[in-house]
Each structure stands twice: as structure tokens, then as C-alpha cells.
Structure 1
């Protein structure tokens, strides 16, 4: 009887531990989604907000200032929540990492929903702040042909994810500088491609304002091209990643854009 009671109690305790473990997993995932939602909200609020201020206050921010704003906000947010959610803030990034088995495929839909919601609410906030004559569409549109914007969005997103893979997923890189390097890459991309396509690099960045303003012209470009560019950028870096170790081993490191393992 004594052994039986001990075994039954032991099994019961194990069951409670399993329940607690599952609860911790759910809480950790909810925290990641909240971090992605807030991160994307502040990304769009700052980036698109600089565009709105520039349009309404005699170009006080200037185009280089807008580029710097996008780069700085990306850098700050990576250092702020990168250790929590991986600091994707971008469906193209999430899909690209999932395609290379660096992010759980089952978590992709929830991440994308959180990112699009953050972008949409940030865009709604800006539209409430800037009304009447100050109400300008803050989304992205091709300045030239659709093909021109499609190609440049592919190239700059490829470049972004190529850089991200180098500084944030390879343990031979200086991981502490990942936020600076990625922010600088965004700044350069906006500087080069901003006047042509708006330099989205991010389906959520384009989709949020499109939903709020009801302006969907050319939206397919900003949904498809950055996603293809991101996937290509991740896989291109994998091709040049020379090491005798398997890819899973050398990417098993703390990085800003890799989601921390669930406990």
C-alpha cells in the first residue's frame, strides 16, 4: 500500500508539473505576440509619423531625416524586444526564417496577425492625429511602373535579410552589433529606394495604411515582392555560409532575430 500511494502521488505531482509547463509555454508565446504587436506598432508609428510630420510642417524632417527615423526605430526595437520575440515586425522576415527552419512554422500565422494588427492600429492612430488637410496617405505606392517597384522591393528586402542572416544568425558575427547593422541597412535601403517604391520591405508596413485609408493600389507588389526577396536573402546567405558544422549547429546561438526557445 505504501509503495502504491507513493507512486500515485508521484504521478499526480508529475501531472501538475506538466500542466505548469504547458501554461508557461502559452504565456511565453503570448508574450512574444504582444512584443511583435507593440514592436510593429511603434515601428509604423515612428516611421510613418515622420512622413506625416514632414508633409504637414514644411518638410521639417526632410527625406534624409525620414530615412534616419526608420533606421533608428528598427535599431531601438531590436534591442528592446529582440530577446523576447526575435524582433521580426515583418511577415516577410517571419516567413523567410520559417522557410529555413529557423522559426516554428506553426507560429507563423499568429506572428503575422500580430504584426498586421500593430501596423493597422498605428496607422489608425496617425490618421486620428492628422485630420482634415493634414490627412495624407502614409502607405506605399509605386512612383514609376509596377515592375520597377517590384524589382527594387525584391532587391532591398533581399539585401536586408542577407544582412540579417549574417549578423544575427551566425555565431561567428558580433551579435551585440546586430541592431546597429540592421538599422543601418534599413536606413540605406530607404535612402535608395524610398523615392521609387516607398522602400517598404515589409508587407505589414504597406498593408496597415492601405486598410486604414482604403487605398490598395499596387498593394500586391508589397505583399509578394518583399516576401520573395526575404526568402531569397536568407537562402543566399545559407549558400555562402562556409563551415564544417551543420547549419543547425552554427545558428544555435542567441540572436536578435531568432525567436528564443520556449521553456
Structure 2
């Protein structure tokens, strides 16, 4: 892991801050700008996905660019991260999400934060919502491990692959559950905006899906990986690779 944990934790907070700040604002484009028809599902999906892509590219060398407690849970469950460091990552992610929500609330009102909080359709049972969140997070973590963790994958592809997975998940399930795939993305605006409807869905679903995908990759798909690097990638780059040694 990083020779300086504060760098990794700061990177996790910034990346999650960016996801929540851009994500909440993209959902509120109509209300904030006064225009009609700008906040389409495609716009919201690409705003979230592109934010993740650029933040992964910018900060992945520092922290592994989890930005998501469900991703961190997968790393802890497969032994790539200690529970203590995982708890620190989750705390940093939640802090970033809360700070982003507070800033949006200060600038544009708490109504914008509430509107940007993931919420389920009234036609969906909470158990169905949890299942949808589990499947979409499963796909996200599967892609993260398959592109960013497995040393056999091309290094240049993973930021965009991860970002596009976020975007396609939102396009498919945004109107159903809000497509959080990320407990911090749900908790930050919920704390600030006061929207707690079926909040457990956004923890149980993503955590189950994320851990399941991590185990599948770790125990089955990556078991024949040719190098030790496969077992340790997905965290910060070694100090010597970042010119810090």
C-alpha cells in the first residue's frame, strides 16, 4: 500500500467528492438552469461515468481509485486490503460524499441535494431494488478487477472501461433504483438532504454484489494469472514507480 496513507485517503475523498458533486448537479440541470430537457438519462449516466473515468486515471496510482465502499469491501474480502485500511477508505469516501453534498446544498439549496439522492421507483419493491443494485455493482466490480487488478489486462483501458460500466448501469437502471452502485454515493446526499427511503437497499445490494464479483475474479478467473503482481494490483503504485523512493 501507499508509503503515505494520507495521500491515498485524500485521493479517495476527492474522487468520491467529484462523483457526488458532478452526479448531483447533473440530475438537477433543469431545476438549476431553468432550462427544459437538459437532464436526460444519458446526460446523467455520462456525467457519472466520465467523472469516474477521469478520477480513476488521475488518482488510481495513489489509492487504487476505489471511490466506493462496495469496491473496498471486495478488496478486503479477497485479502488485498486489511480491514483497518478498508475502514479508513470507507471513512474517506463517505467524507468526500458528504462534503460534496454540503457544497451543493450551500450553493443551490437542500432540495437539489434531496433530488440528487438515489431513490427507488414507487413500482419497485425494496427487495427487487436491492437485487438490481447487487447485479449492477457486481458488473462494476467485475470490470474493475478484470481491467485494473488483473495484470494480464491492458493498463490503458481500465479508466474508461470502469467509467463506461457506471454509465451503462445508470442508463439501464437509473429510473428503477437511482443506480447508486455505491453506498457512499447514497449516504452523502441522504445525510444532507434527508432522503432515507429504503436506504438499506443501497448498502446491502452493492456490498453483496461487489464482494461476489471480487471473489469470482479472485478465486476463479484470476487463479492462473502468471505473475504475483495480479495479487496486489488495484492499490497504490509502489513508491519507486511514483518517483518517491
Same fold (TM over 0.5): yes
SS in 2 for 1:89: coil
The TM-score normalised by the length of structure 1 is 0.83
Query: Structure 1, residues 153-195: CA drift from partner, whole Å, max 9, x if none?
Result: 0000001111111111111111111001111111100000100
How has the CA–CA distance of structure 1 residues 210 and 76 changed in structure 2, closer, same or farther, with 3 Å as cutoff?
A: same
User: Which stretch shows the higher mean deviation, 230-239 or 86-95?
Assistant: 230-239
- Unaligned ranges ≥5, structure 1: 1-23
**Is the CA contact (8 Å cut-off) linking 2:63 and 2:236 kept in structure 1?**
yes
For 1:206, the equivalent position in structure 2 comes to 186
Paired residue for 2:37? 59
Among 174, 190, 207, the alignment partner of 2:170 is 190
Change (3 A) 1:36 1:60: same
Indicate the structure (1 or 2) with the bigger Cα radius of gyration: 1
Residue 259 (1) aligns with residue 239 (2) = no
What CA deviation, in whole Å up to 9, does each residue of 1:86-131 have, x standing for no partner?
Answer: 1111111111111101123221111111110100110111112223
- Kindly report which structure 2 residues correspond to 1:105-184, keeping only aligned pairs within 5 A, or say none: 105-131=83-109, 136-143=114-121, 144-184=124-164
**Cα pair 2:68 2:184 within 8 Å, conserved:** yes
CA contact (8 A) 1:168 1:258 kept: no
Contact 2:73 2:207 in 1 (8 A): yes
Asked if the contact 2:70–2:210 (Cα under 8 Å) also holds between the matched residues in 1, the reply is yes
- Structure 1 runs, 4 residues or longer, greater than 6 Å off: none
Give the direction of change, closer, same or farther, for the CA distance of 1:225–1:135 in structure 2 (3 Å limit): closer
Greater relative contact order structure (CA < 8 Å, 6+ sep): 2
Distance 1:80 1:128, change over 3 A: same
| Aligned partners of 2:114 and 2:194 also within 8 Å | no
Determine whether 1:101 maps to 2:102: no
Change (3 A) 1:175 1:134: closer
User: 1:196 aligns to what SS in structure 2?
Assistant: helix
Report the CA distance shift for 1:205/1:135 in structure 2 as closer, same or farther (over 3 A). closer
| Structure 1 residue 47, shift from structure 2 partner | 1.2
Contact 2:23 2:116 in 1 (8 A): no
Write out aligned runs for 1:26-65 (5 A).
28-56=4-32, 57-65=35-43
Query: How many residues in Structure 1 have an aligned counterpart in Structure 2?
Result: 235
TM-score normalized by the length of structure 2: 0.88
